[in-house]
């Protein structure tokens, strides 16, 4: 299976993919949260950086549990 960092990059750079079709689900304080792929500002090392309330937030990639495309699971940890 593809690792999560490679999948995130594939969605961004592969012309056949539409980032708007994807959602990521990650664990935050023992709660599963959904994040639209388009909210990812950038990747730095093993973190994805999102912007929330005019503040950059780092989310470790190991917290991502699944990725869905149009509601269908395409990647799961």
CATH number at residue 10: 2.30.30
d(CA 15, CA 56): 27
d(CA 28, CA 60): 10
Q: What is the pTM of this model?
A: 0.89
Is the pLDDT confidence value at 1 over 90? no
Mean pLDDT value across residues 36-46: 95
In a domain, 23, yes or no: yes
Domain, as residue range, for 46: 4-71
Mean confidence (pLDDT) of the chain: 95
In a domain, 30, yes or no: yes
- The number of distinct structural domains making up the chain is 1
């Amino acid at each position: 299976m593809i690792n999560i960092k490679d999948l995130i990059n594939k969605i961004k750079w592969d012309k056949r993919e539409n980032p708007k079709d994807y959602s990521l689900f990650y664990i935050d304080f023992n709660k599963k949260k959904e994040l639209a792929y388009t909210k990812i500002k950038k990747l730095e090392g093993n973190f994805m950086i999102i912007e929330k309330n005019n503040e950059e937030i780092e989310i470790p990639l190991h917290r991502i549990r699944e990725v869905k495309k149009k509601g269908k699971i395409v990647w799961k940890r």
